[in-house]
Amino acid sequence: MEQPAAPGAPARSAEANGIPVNLSRRALGQFGENLAAKHLEAQGYRIVARNWRQGRHGEIDLVALDGQCLVFVEVKTRSTDAFGPPAEAVGRAKLARLRRLVGLYLQQDHPPAKAVRLDVIAITTGGSGRRLEHFKGVGQ
C-alpha cells in the first residue's frame, strides 16, 4: 500500500513510467495477467476465462479464442531478469501440469474447439522498461 507523502514533500507514485513498482508477488502476477489479456485482445483474441481453477490440480491463467482455436495461456511476470527470463520458469513439469489442466477443462461443459493450443506470455516489468513476449504453441 502506498504511503502518504510527508508534509511539503512531493507525492510518491505507485508507478514509474506506467510500470508498477514494489508490488507483492500476487499483485505483480495480476498486473501481468491483465497486461497479457489486453495484449491478446489487441491481437483479436477473445478472452473466455481467467484464472480457471480445478481444485488441487492448479490454475490456467487465461483461456482465449483465436479464431476457432482455443488457446490456453500461462502468464509469467517478473520484475527483473535477475533469476532468468520469466519464460524459463515454464519447464517440463509445469507444461505437464498445464496439459492435464487443459484436458480437465475440455472434459467439462465448455464450447468445443476445432483446435487447441498452449501459449506462454512472459512479461518483465523492470530494468529498461516493460517487455512482453508471446510464445505460441509451446511444448507441442
Q: Is residue 114 part of a domain?
A: yes
Cα separation, 31 vs 23, in Å, equals 9
- Domain count within the chain: 1
Question: Where residue 63 falls among pLDDT bands split at 50, 70, 90?
Answer: very high
Identify the band that residue 120 occupies on the pLDDT scale cut at 50, 70 and 90.
very high
Of 20, 2, 19, the residue nearest 11 (C-alpha): 2
Residue 2 belongs to some domain of the structure? no
Cell of 135: 510464445
Return the percentage of the chain with pLDDT > 70, whole number: 76
| pLDDT mean across residues, the chain | 80
- Decide which of 89 and 108 is more confident: 108
Residue 1 in any domain: the answer is: no
Average pLDDT over residues 15-25: 55
Per-residue pLDDT tens for 68-82? 999 999 999 887 766
9 belongs to a structural domain: no
CATH number for 82: 3.40.1350.10
How many percent of the chain have pLDDT more than 90?
47
Residue 36 structural domain: 15-135
Asked whether residue 69 is domain-assigned, the answer is yes
* Residue 60, in any domain of the structure: yes
3 within domain boundaries: no
pTM assigned to the model: 0.78
Please indicate, yes or no, if residue 57 is contained in any of the structural domains: yes
